[in-house]
Amino acid sequence: MPPIRKESDVGAAGATKDAIDEGIIKKGFTRKEITAAYNKARTTLNRWQTKERELELFEQEHSIDDRWMRNSVEYQNAQKLLTERTYCRAVDNLERLVVQRLFELTKLGMNGVGLLFDFCLLFYLDSSYT
């Protein structure tokens, strides 16, 4: 499958070169700064090309015909699933901290302190799962 490339992706290296050239003319970069900028641009392009080749091999091995775009239904569903997963992990972490706090209060013999707050928080967490 041929890779899907946008002109903006491929032209990024050229845009960087133009910015470097502009910097040479207008800002008076030194030879050392010019060399560093060219090396950075070349290294970035090489890394991008390597990742692109890895992606193409992965797509061929797994028989992936189409890449998802931001407006595709599959992409939107996957994004929603990831958002929900992140939310559930945050709620689980909060619940863990509340239980940890309850155990600490019990250990100190202060299990009645803050009980109403902890109860309300646990009630909220239980209702958020439904």
Q: Average pLDDT of each block of 10 consecutive residues along the chain (130 residues)?
A: 45 61 71 85 95 94 89 94 96 92 77 62 64
Longest dimension (CA), the chain: 74
**What is the torsional sign of CA 111, 114, 116, 118?**
negative
Q: Which of 47, 22, 55, 51 shows the shortest CA–CA distance to 37?
A: 22
pLDDT value for 12: 54
pLDDT value for 82: 96
Place of tokens 């193409």: 56
pLDDT value for 53: 96
pLDDT value for 5: 44
Q: Tell me how far apart the terminal alpha carbons of the chain are, to the nearest angstrom.
A: 44
**What is the distance between the alpha carbons of residues 2 and 67, in angstroms, rounded to a whole number?**
11
- Distance from the Cα of residue 9 to its chain's centroid: 19
Residues near 95 by beta carbon (within 8 Å), at least 6 away in sequence: 122, 125
Structure tokens at 7: 């002109």
Structure tokens at 10: 């491929």
